[in-house]
Chains A and B, each alone.
Chain A
Amino acid sequence: MTPTRIILVALGIAALVAAPLGQGNYIVYTLTSWLLFSIAAMGLNLTLGYAGQVSLAQAAFMGIGAYVTALMTLAGLPWIAAALVSVAASFVVGLLLGYPALRVQHHFLAFVTLAFNILLFLVLRNEEEVTGGSFGLVGMPRPSVLGISTDSNLNFYYFALACFLFAAFVMWWILRSPWGRAFKALRENPIRAESLGLKIRRQTLLAFAIGSAFGGLAGALMPPLVQFIEPGSFALIHSLKLLLMVVVGGAGFFFGPMLGAALVILLPELLRFTEGYYLIIYALLVIVLMVFSPNGLIGLGQKIWLGFRPKQEERRDMKKGFQL
């Protein structure tokens, strides 16, 4: 990292630390859920933006994390143990789903994950004895860290922030390792990557499973945040919302999902004054953005920036992909 980047990241973290100070409960809550969705979207970005696979089950992985954590903490186990199990469970389910799906090429994973999300929703709703059915689960305790309870919303915000920073660090580490290079190669030219020794199936599967594990971590933060979980929070529509976050923010960019999550969560709030029209305006804004900048907000920012300092531009006269 360049010194400028380090300074920018430090400033960003300082801003995140300062953000909730002096704010009311509602804002602190919204900020916390932004952190949470950013973690999930970051994971989906690995699958979609780096490895180039569509997963429509990120909300389902959050659901796995949320229910595992809720049940374990209700049983008196510490949050950290529950979170570890949640992450591991999402990772393993990701492997089990992805292994058969990725043997078949292309968009098959999208269908498998779509079906899985619907299935999981039904299981959560119908297995009332374990999951509480559509009434959900309530009364999950909040964790305490070194004797400091996170019962106050502000404390819980900082707890979520620590988890978010940890997740971001892990993601950064993965992306700067040879694995990160391999993930990008998968997206850009899998056939060439394979001819260079990259086991594309295994690497794609790992991207999906790791991305799913991030969903599990985000889910583990949900029960202590809302203290009430129900199947509806993990329905397919929420997977689509997470997909929207990644795409709107800029798939394949490190900060894309965080920006996208902010927009998807905040914009409806900001547009509330338009009353009934907000969904229409919202949809139009997304369409306009996608038309003008398929690379999302970060792509748009880059375009504008490069407009001032032209350096590199994608060639349009040569075919990008690949043919045998």
Chain B
Amino acid sequence: MNAHAPILSVTNISKQFGGIKAVNGVSFDVQRGEILGLIGPNGSGKSTLFNCILGQLRPTEGHCRIHGRSTDGVRPADLSLMGVGRTFQQLSVFPRMTVLDNVILAGQEHEGSMVSRLFGRPDAGLTAKAEQLIEFFRLSPYRDTEAGSLSYGQQKLVDAAMAFMAGPEIVLLDEPAGGVNLTMLAHLKDRLLTYNREHGTTFVVIEHNMEFVMSLCTRIIVLAQGEIIAQGSPDEIRSNPMVIDAYLGG
């Protein structure tokens, strides 16, 4: 494996739903350690692109490679085991499980074997690590609360905590800031930057909160109607007339 090879490489991905071309010939590379923002109007195909990359949807055309390995036909579970973490745009916790169990679950399949998971410790030795993450996301008072009874923003945070539990190399976040308050948002950004700095974790972030994206990302790709209409540094994007026209408004 080439150390300089992109950690994620997307080649000419298209996804068609009936008559709608949700994603249309999108290609880009993500380098190790990069924080890439993916922005664009509602319905521009951002989530669909994620789901094609992550094996939830089969692209009509095109390929993805992670660490240079093709992801054609690779199941989402195997992608997770390959070090790819993700969050979903919709709330996606396990509502009847406690916050602690949610977070432990997010890590347990990466520990030991099937057999050790049956005969070993009930928490797969992950309680301390899970508690750290819970503490970090300021969810400690809710450690033993069923996740489904938390507020929207809190569930979003549980979701984010789960994405980090297995120590992924690359994390794809679909609107992590939705419904999260400003203090927590700053905290979340801090966390992403820390992970990025200390572990070299790569991020791809879909987000409508421009302040958050612009201050977090090193590079931004703008999607409109399923196609990339611009990419560059936050400053370049902010002043790009096409982007202002299609998305940012003037």
Contacts and interface: CB of A to CB of B under 8 A. Distances in A.
B137 interface: no
A314 interface: yes
Contacts of B145: 312
Contacts of B88: 191-192, 195, 322, 324
Interface residues of A, number: 33
B149 A315 contact: yes
Interface stretch (A35-43, A107-115, A137-145, A181-189): A181-189
A214 to B, nearest CB: 16
B109 interface: yes
Contact of B97 (A179, A185, A312, A319): A185
B120 interface: yes
Contacts of A129: none
B54 to A, nearest CB: 7
Given A178-B124, A196-B106, A324-B57, A184 B94 contact: yes
Nearest to A195: B76
Contacts of B117: 177-179, 182
By CB atoms of chain B within 10 A, which of A194, A196, A314, A319 has the most?
A196
Given A188-B96, A195-B76, A199-B77, A181 B101 contact: yes
Contacts of A181: 97, 101, 104-105, 108
B95 interface: yes
Contacts of A320: 95, 148
Contacts of A189: 92-95
B90 A182 contact: no
Interface string A248-269: 0000000000000000000000
B213 interface: no
B140 to A, nearest CB: 17
A192 B94 contact: yes
Interface in B23-59: 47, 51, 54, 56-57
Contacts of A192: 88, 92-94
A324 B119 CA distance: 34
A178 B57 CA distance: 28
B105 A185 contact: yes
Interface in B103-124: 104-106, 108-110, 114, 117-120, 122-124
A315 B166 CA distance: 28
B178 to A, nearest CB: 13
B105 A196 contact: yes
B136 interface: no
A196 B148 contact: no
Contacts of A318: 91, 148, 152, 155
B119 A188 contact: no
Contact of B81 (A178, A193, A197): A197
A182 B102 CA distance: 10
Contacts of B149: 312-315
B177 interface: no
Contacts of A174: 118
A168 interface: no
A323 interface: yes
B77 A198 contact: yes
A184 B57 contact: no
Given A182-B105, A195-B76, A322-B90, A315 B148 contact: yes
A174 B165 CA distance: 23
A2 to B, nearest CB: 12
Interface string B118-139: 1110111000000000000000
B208 interface: no
A5 interface: no
8 contacts: A185-B94, A193-B94, A193-B105, A195-B77, A199-B109, A200-B77, A320-B148, A323-B90
Given A196-B77, A313-B149, 7 more contacts: A177-B117, A192-B94, A195-B79, A199-B75, A202-B114, A312-B146, A318-B155
